[in-house]
Structure 1
C-alpha cells in the first residue's frame, strides 16, 4: 500500500470537508469526491481487502443505530398519519420511478425496482441536522415518515435479494413469509439476549467496554443473518430496535458515534472510489435531478392528499429532499449478492451528492420558498378550493366511513394487490411451457401469444372493475356527507370534481386502466412479440372502458356501489346491529361523563 498516496487522499478529503462545512454543506460530499479523485488520479483503492473490515463495520453500525433511533413509543402518536403519508408516497414513487427505470432508462424489472428503493428513503440524520433549532409544525411527522421509509426500503430490499432477481408469485409469497417469520424470531431473540443475558450498559463506566459491546453485537448478528437468510442490514435494524429497550442504550450509541463516523468516512471514500470521472457522469446527474424531483413531488403530494394544507405540504417537501445513503448501501449489498444493479448503484451515489447539495442550499431559504408557494396558492382559483375539499375529505369522510364501506374497500384493495402480482407469475409460466414446444410446431407459439393476450385482457378488465368499485364506494360516502354541508359553492365544487355520472368516473376508469396496462405489458412484452400483444391490448382497453362506463350500478344501502349483487339481509342486519351497539356504548359513555362533570360543577360551586 502506498501510504503517501493514502495520506494525500485523506488530507485532500479533509480540506474539502472543511470547506464544505464552512459553506454549510454535508461533509459526505467531500468524502465521495475525495474517493473519486483518489481512485482516478492517485491510484488509491479504498475497496481493497485492507479496508473491507472498516467499510463492513460502517454499514452494520449505521443500520444498528437506525434501529435504536426508531422509537416506537414516540412514533405511535403519529403512526396512523405517518403510515398513510408513507404508503401514499410509496405508491407515487413506485409508479413514477418504476416506469421511468423501465421505459426511459431501460433498467429492467429488477433495476427499476432498485431505482424505486433509491428514490424512497430520506436521510433521517440529515433531517435532524436540517431541522435542528427550527420551529417546524410537522417536524415529528417528517421524522416518523423517514423512519417508516427506512423499514420500507430494507423490507422490500430483503425480499428482492432473497428472490435473486427472479419474479415468481409463489416464490414472492414464500419469501415474504420466511422474511417475516425469521425477522420476528430475530427480534425476540435479540430482546431476550439484551434484557436477560447481557449486562446493563448503564452500569459500565469504562468507555472501551461500551465501544466494544456494539461492535461485538454487530459481528454476532452478522453471523446470525448468514444462518437465517435475512439480509445483514435488516438484521442490524431489528437488533437495534431490540437494543433500544435496554437501559443505557443511549449512552452506548453516543459513545460509539466517533467509531461509526470514522468507519463511515472510509465507507464513503470507498463508494466514491467506484465512480470514475467520465462523460457518462453528467447523464447520471441529470437522472439524479429527476429522482430528486420525483421524491419532492411524491412526498409533498402524499402529505397534501392525507390532510396537510397545500403550502405546508410543499414546503415540508424541501426537508425530505436529501436522500439517504441507504440507496448506496442496498445496491452495493445487492451487487455482492450477485444482483446486477451497477447502473442504479452509480445513480444512487450521484443522488446522494446532488440531493445533499440541493437540500443544504434550499433549507436556509425555506421562508422565501414558502412565501413563493403561498403567492402561487393565493393567485390560483382552483388550489384554495381543492385544498379545503381535501382537508374536509380527510376529516369528515375518511374518519367517519361506514363499517360496510370499509369492509368492501378492504376486499377490493386486496383483490387489486393480487391482480398486480398475477402478471409476474402467469406470463413467465407460459414462457416456460412454450420452451417445451418443438420448433417444427411454430404455429403453437402464436397460439400461446394470443392466449396470453386474452388473459392479460381479462386481468385488465377485473382490475378496472375493482378500481371502479372502490371509486363508487368512496363517491357514495362523499355524497352522503356533502348533503350536510351548508355551503352551496362547496357542494357544487365537489360535484364538479367528481362529475358522478360523466367525465369524472370515466377519467378515473381510463387512468386506472392505463396504469395496469403499462404494468402488465412490462411483463408481457418480455416474452411476447409486440406486434401481437400490443394491438390486442389497445383494442381491449377501448372495449373495457366503453363497457364499464355504460354498465349500470344499483343502489345499495344509502350509497351507490359498483355491483350487481345486493348484500344478504343477514349481513346488513349484522352490520347495523354492530353500529347500533357502538352508538349505544358511546351514548352511555357520554352520559357518564356528563354526570361526572355535573358532580364536579356542583362541588366547585
Structure 2
C-alpha cells in the first residue's frame, strides 16, 4: 500500500484527537471519529476503505500499539506499592463486580441473553477509563494518599479481570460445546502460562538488565522485544496477545523503574493506537454498508449504553459506600467511573477477528465508549446537584443504615459490617453461578426416570445438613457461654458458613431442576408464552427472597465470630 493512501486516515484522526483532547475527552474518541470521517472521504475519492482493514502493514502497527497498551497496563500493577491497600481495593472491586454481574444476570435471564454474551457485556461494564481515573485524583484535592492508592489499585484489578476475561473468551470460543472438565483444564493451562512467564521474567530478566543492558535506548528496545515475545507466546498457547504484553509489563514493573521506558515508547504506542482505533472507526460505517445495522439498532445501542453506565454507577457507588465512604462522596466518585474504557472495543475486535462475534459488536462497544465519554462529562459537571438529588431518592431505611455504618466504623466494628456485605454478595454470586451450571448439567444429562431419584437425594442431603447445622450451633453455643476455647468459636463460624452456603445452594438447585422439569413440558405445548414469562418472573422473586433470608443468616452467624 502506498503512503498516500493512509495519509487521510492519519491526518484526520490526528486532528480529531487533538480537538477532542483539548475539550477534555480521551484521544481515543478522536481516533474513532477520525476513522468514521475517513471512511466517507475514501468513498468520495473512490478508494476502497475495506482494503485498509486488511492491509498487513496497518495490522502490524495496530498490534504493536495494542501490545504496548497491555504492557503499560501491566507496569501500573506494582505489587510493592499497592500491597498496603490491595485488600480494601479487592473488597471494593469484588463488591462492585458482583453487583454488576447480578444485575446483568437478571437482565440476561429476562431477555434470554446467553452466558457468553453476558460475560462480554460484564467485561465491558466493569472497566473504567484510566485517564478519567487520573482526572478524578487530580480534582479531589482532599483525597488522602491511601485513597489515591486505593483507586489506583482498584483500577489495576479491573484491568486484570478484563485481560484475563478476554483470554478466557478467546480460549473457550463461543462456549457452546466446552465441558466442565475442559474448562478446568483450560484454567489450569492459563495458570501455568501466567506463573511460568512471571517466574522467568522476575528471576532472570533483572540479572540481564543489570549486567548487560544499562542505556535507556537499549532497555527500551529490550522491553519492546520482551513484550512482543510474551505476546507471541500467549498467542501460540491459545490466549490473547494482550495477556502476554500485560505479563511483560508486570515483570518490568517489578524489576525496573518503568516510567522512563513507557515514556520512551509512548510515541510508538500512540501511533499504533491511532491506527488501531482509526481502523475501528472504519468498521462502524462498514456495519451499515453490509446491512448488519440500521438506525433502529443504533438507537437500541444507545439505550444499551445508558444501561451500561447506570449499572456501572450503581455497582461502584454502592460498593464504595459499603467501604465506609460517605454516601454523597461515593455518589460523586461513581459519576467519574461511568466513563467506560476503550477495552470493550478491544474485546469486540479481537473476538471478531477470530470469527467469534459479529461485526456489529464492534459498533456496539464503540457506541458505548463514545456515548459514555460524552454523557459522563455532562454528568460530572453537575455532580454536586446530582449527588444531592440522588441521596433524596435513597429510602429512609438505607439512610439509617448509612448512619449505623459510620457509628460502627468509628467504634472500630466497621470491618465486621464490611465482611458481612462481602460475604453476602459473594454467596449470592456463587449461588447464581452454581445454579446456572447445574441448569446446563441437568439439561445435558436429563432423562425422565432419573428425576425423582435426583430430587429425593438432594432433598434428603439438604435436610440432613440443616439438622447437623442446628445441632452444631447448639453445641457451640454451650461451649461459648461456658467461656471455653475461643479458637473453637472461629472454627465454628467457618464451618457454619460453609454448611449454610451449601444448603441454600441446594435449595436453588432444586428450584432450578423444578423449572427445567416445567420447561420440558413445552414440547407437549402445555404452556403459553405468558405462562413462561410468569415462571421466569417467579424465579427472580424466589432468588430475591432467598437473598434476603441469606443476609439475615449471615448477619446472625457473625455473632459466633464476635
| Structure with bigger gyration radius | 1
Q: Map 1:312-351 to 2 at 5 A.
A: 312-340=329-357, 342-351=359-368
Q: Does structure 1 conserve the Cα–Cα contact (< 8 Å) formed by 2:167 and 2:239?
A: yes
Cα distance between partner residues in 1 of 2:249 and 2:227: 10
Q: Is the 8 A contact 1:51 1:266 kept in 2?
A: yes
1:121 CA drift (Å): 0.8
* 2:151 matched residue in structure 1: 142
TM-score (ref. length: structure 2): 0.74
Displacement after TM superposition at 1:132 (Å): 2.6
SS of the aligned residue for 1:245 comes to helix
In structure 1, C-alpha distance between the alignment counterparts of 2:425 and 2:40, rounded to whole Å = 54
Question: Does structure 1 residue 158 correspond to structure 2 residue 167?
Answer: yes
Q: Does 1:219 align with 2:236?
A: no
Matches for 1:289-300 after TM superposition, within 5 Å: 289-300=306-317
Query: Is contact 1:427–1:452 with CA below 8 Å preserved after alignment?
Result: no
Are 1:183 and 2:197 an aligned pair?
A: no
Within the alignment, does 1:57 sit opposite 2:64 as a pair?
yes
Alignment equivalent of 2:88, drawn from 74, 81, 84: 81
**Mapped contact 1:63–1:237 kept (Cα < 8 A):** yes
- The 8 Å contact of residues 70 and 245 in structure 2, kept in 1 or not, is answered as yes
- The whole-number CA distance in structure 1 between the counterparts of 2:445 and 2:230 is 41
Q: Deviations over 1:485-539 (max 9, x none)?
A: xxxxxxxxxxxxxxxxxxxxxxxx9999889968996999699759679879959
How many angstroms does 1:372 deviate by?
4.4
The answer as to whether partners of 2:132 and 2:337 remain within 8 angstroms in 1 is no
1:271 maps to 2:280:
yes
Q: SS of the counterpart of 1:324?
A: coil
Shift of 1:295: 0.7
CA RMSD of aligned residues (A): 4.8
Instruction: From the superposition, tell whether residues 229 and 430 of structure 1 become closer, same or farther in structure 2 (CA, over 3 Å).
Output: same
2:49 maps to 44
Query: What does residue 117 of structure 1 align with?
Result: 123
The aligned counterpart of 2:321 is: 304
What is the CA-CA distance between 1:69 and the residue it aligns to?
0.7
Residues 123, 323 of structure 1: 8 Å contact kept: yes
Contact map agreement 1:168 1:424 (CA 8 A) in 2: no
In the other structure, the counterpart of 1:588 is: none
Does structure 2 retain, via aligned residues, the 8 Å contact 1:93–1:120? yes
Greater RCO (Cα-Cα under 8 Å, separation 6 or more): 2
Cα distance, 1:359–1:113 mapped onto 2, change above 3 Å: same
Of the candidates 415, 424, 432, which is equivalent to residue 399 of structure 1? 415
Deviations 1:381-430 (A, max 9, x none): 444312123445677666359x9x99x99997897477346325513532
Whether contact under 8 Å (1:168, 1:425) holds in the other structure is no
- Counterparts of 1:352-363 in structure 2, within 5 Å, are 352-363=369-380
How many pairs does the alignment contain?
Answer: 496
Give yes or no for contact 2:12–2:37 (8 Å, CA) kept in 1.
Answer: no
Distance 1:112 1:540 in 2: 19
Contact 2:197 2:247 in 1 (8 A): yes
Match of 1:423 in 2: 438
* Secondary structure of residue in 2 paired with 1:159: helix
- Cα distance in 2 for residues equivalent to 1:364 and 1:545: 41
* Unaligned stretches of 5+ residues in structure 1: 432-444, 481-508, 563-574, 580-605
Partner Cα separation in structure 2 for residue 524 and residue 330 of structure 1 = 37
Partners of 1:140 and 1:73 in 2: CA distance: 11
Aligned CA distance change for structure 1 residues 235 and 98 (closer, same or farther; 3 Å): farther
Q: Deviations over 1:16-63 (max 9, x none)?
A: 333323322222212111112223452434422231001111111101
Q: Does 1:66 align with 2:73?
A: yes
**For residues 207-246 of structure 1, what are the structure 2 equivalents within 5 Å?**
207=217, 209-246=218-255
5+ residue gaps, structure 2: 43-47, 289-293, 481-502
